[in-house]
Structure 1
Amino acid sequence: MSDNRRPRLDTPRETRRQLVPRPNVDADAFGVFAESFARYMGTAKFLLWMTAFVAVWILWNVLAPESLRFDEFPFIFLTLMLSLQASYAAPLILLAQNRQEQRDKVVAEQDRQANARAHADMEFLAREVASLRMAVGEVATRDFLRSELRGLLGDIEDLQRPAAPDDSQPPPDQVSRPGP
């Protein structure tokens, strides 16, 4: 007898329905919002507006008649508002920092790859320059060619000059040759 209620390992389980549907949030759009919020919170404009807000709050609750004050206890509601603002600001700033860190990693990797390519190119060029230096070392220079041509020109001029009879040497056809 088989028990149909026991789950089998070779078949996937049915997906469970959620009682409360999760909101579908575009992570990139939310990240852009977090970055713009964090960027704004780091400006002097934000600090001035926040300082003005706190100053107006304190002045109103100190100088206004008791019937018009909205923070009954000594600034409890102001403290609550500032804590609420900080509790939302901190995660948004962290999210913005995480996104910046990811961008920095991508840029660092691209820089590393560009440096590796530049290093390889420099090594290639260094080998090419070394081979060119070796090849140039084997090439005849202008001064060397001039000296060789002058020497050959001198030899040609010597051969073209008629030989003056020399009393000390016999003519070439009368030169005695040693015998065997």
Structure 2
Amino acid sequence: MAKIRRTDNSRLDAPKGLRPSVLPARNRESRDRFGRATEWVARAMGTPWFLLILTFFCLVWIGYNTWGPENFRFDSAALGFTALTLILSLQASYAAPLILLAQNRQDDRDRVQIEQDRQRAERNLADTEYLAREVVALRLAMKDMASKEFIRQELRSLLEELEKDRPEHEQTGTAGDGGR
């Protein structure tokens, strides 16, 4: 008996991306088109217009099959409008999965948006921390720098020292300059 050899990616307990798909691979664009169509249907079913049209459709159906010409009636009121019930059940059985598909796509978009928001918040936090460190460094550097008042005071004290060191006759301006 020949032994069938299985590779790791053919196991059913492997992650979905690692095992071969049962259906043939389709391009991403056709899946996205189908997803957009399901979202459109789900959005359309959630509108007041859809409810009004469905209500109008049911009223016309019931009215025609109740008061219409007997030869042309196709759904008996005596049987409880079986065809209408089947049509509405079919519509509901397709509506539920389409709505779930649309919700799954929205959840995926929300997940991506949340991840992008988290990354943006992390970048903003890192930028804010960097700017805060720079502001602190500038404040520290400003405290080390001399202010105008400090420089003026130093210049005054230097002038006072120079004037103390000069001989007395130079301070008055009368020493042998010939009256110039």
TM over 0.5: yes
* 1:7 aligned onto 2:11: no
Structure 2 gaps, min length 5: 8-22, 170-180
1:53 aligns with 2:57: yes
Residue 112 and residue 71 in structure 1: after superposition, are their counterparts in 2 closer, same or farther (change >3 A)?
same
**Residue equivalent to 1:144:** 150
1:18 maps to: none
Question: Which structure 2 residues correspond to residues 5-154 of structure 1 after superposition, within 5 A?
Answer: 6-8=1-3, 26-72=30-76, 73-154=79-160
The structure carrying a bigger helix percent of its residues is: 2
Q: Give aligned-pair identity as a percent.
A: 51
Instruction: Work out the CA distance in 2 between the residues paired with 1:24 and 1:10.
Output: 23
3-state secondary structure, aligned to 2:2: coil
**Distance in 2 separating the partners of 1:48 and 1:161:** 111
Cα distance, 1:71 vs. partner?
Answer: 1.1
Please identify the structure whose Cα radius of gyration is greater: 1
Kindly provide the CA deviation profile for residues 107-138 of structure 1, in whole angstroms up to 9, marking residues without a partner as x.
11111111111111111111111111111111
Once superposed, what is the RMSD of the aligned Cα atoms?
A: 2.5
1:67 aligned counterpart, secondary structure: helix
The structure with higher relative contact order (CA 8 Å, sep 6+) is 1
**Residue 71 of structure 2 aligns to a residue in which SS?**
coil
Structure 1 residues without counterparts, runs of 5 or longer: 1-5, 13-21, 164-180
Deviation at 1:97, TM superposition (A): 0.8
The residue type paired with residue 130 of structure 2 is F
Q: Distance in 1 between matches of 2:119 and 2:35?
A: 27
**Alpha-carbon distance between aligned partners in 2 of 1:71 and 1:31, rounded to the nearest angstrom:** 35
